[in-house]
Amino acid sequence: MRAMGAYVFDVAGLAISALLLIAYNLYLSRKEKRNPAYTVRAVNTIARTAWVESVMANGKDVLAVQTLRNSTMAATFLASTSVLLIIGVLSLSGQGDKLEATWHSLNLIGAKHTELWMMKLLFLLLDLFFAFFSFSMSVRVFNHVGYMINVPLSLNHKSISPQHVAIHLNRAGRFYSLGMRAYYYAVPLVFWLFGPHFMLLATLGLIVVLYRLDRAPKVLADDYVS
């Protein structure tokens, strides 16, 4: 019981941080239902759908290839970065006994046990693995879209209509967005290594920054509603 009590602040900090991030995402989802152009994510979904319809209707093959190539390269770069970060965290886990004292010098209320240190690194690893998986899936779906979007409409394939292709493209965009979210959420996890109070401060700061990044320009949102 005494050992469990030593982890109270860290567990509470992790729970509060997770609840804050979940509440923020629920808030965005609710706003999107009321106004489909409230967030940049929603506007991009609308734009990708319109882009697919324009490309397939006008036969802009070169434009499609170039755009999808840029998206694939960006997702590939971020997936590779995830692997490098995973290797870095694994290397850090092997030097915990040498670094714990330094990292815990600012830890005023949290526990300083080796087991908790490894658990923190495990959470960070899971986050980075999720980012890698998301970006890899994004690359996979972008490649599929590259073939589908160049199928002529004259063939009248029911399963390769512009609406169907747009669904796949938006799915790739969602995987890319999830990967970026995993990168963003790694920030509180890194600050957790210094103490639970730093984690909470980082979470609040992240939500403020994300709100400014996620919010679509008000002019676009108001025009869509009107």
What whole-number percentage of the chain has pLDDT above 70?
85
- In this prediction, residues 40-45 reach a mean pLDDT of 89
Query: Which pLDDT score, from 0 to 100, does residue 5 have?
Result: 53
Closest alpha carbon to 173 in 34, 46, 31, 83: 46
- 72-80 average pLDDT score: 95
What pLDDT, in 10s, does the model give residues 136-177? Answer: 999 999 999 988 888 877 777 777 888 888 999 999 999 999
Give the DSSP letter of residue 151. Answer: S
Report whether 184 contacts 210 (CB < 8 A): yes
Residue 104 has pLDDT above 80, yes or no: no
Residue 206 neighbours by CB distance under 10 Å: 20
Question: What pLDDT sits at residue 178?
Answer: 95
Q: Is residue 4 pLDDT above 90, yes or no?
A: no
Q: What does the pLDDT average to over 94-120?
A: 64
3-state secondary structure of 215: strand
Q: Residue 39 in 3-state DSSP?
A: strand
Q: For the chain, percent helix, then strand, then coil, each to nearest 5?
A: 85, 0, 15
Distance of CA 72 to the CA centre of its chain: 16
More confident site: 8 or 32:
32
Higher pLDDT, 70 or 94: 70
Rounded to an integer, what distance in angstroms lies between the CA atom of residue 172 and that of residue 175? 5
Give tens-digit pLDDT for 186-204.
Answer: 999 998 888 888 899 999 9
Other C-beta atoms closer than 10 Å to the C-beta of 221 total 19
Region 98-122 average pLDDT: 66
Residue 22 exposure: Cα atoms within 13 Å on the Cβ side: 6
Please check the confidence at residue 122 and state whether its pLDDT lies above 50.
yes
Please tell me the predicted confidence (pLDDT) of residue 13: 85
pLDDT band at 17 (very low <50, low <70, confident <90, very high): very high
0.95 exceeded by pTM: no
Flag whether pLDDT at 1 surpasses 50.
Answer: no
Question: 9: which 2 tokens?
Answer: 């602040």
pLDDT at position 102, please?
Answer: 61
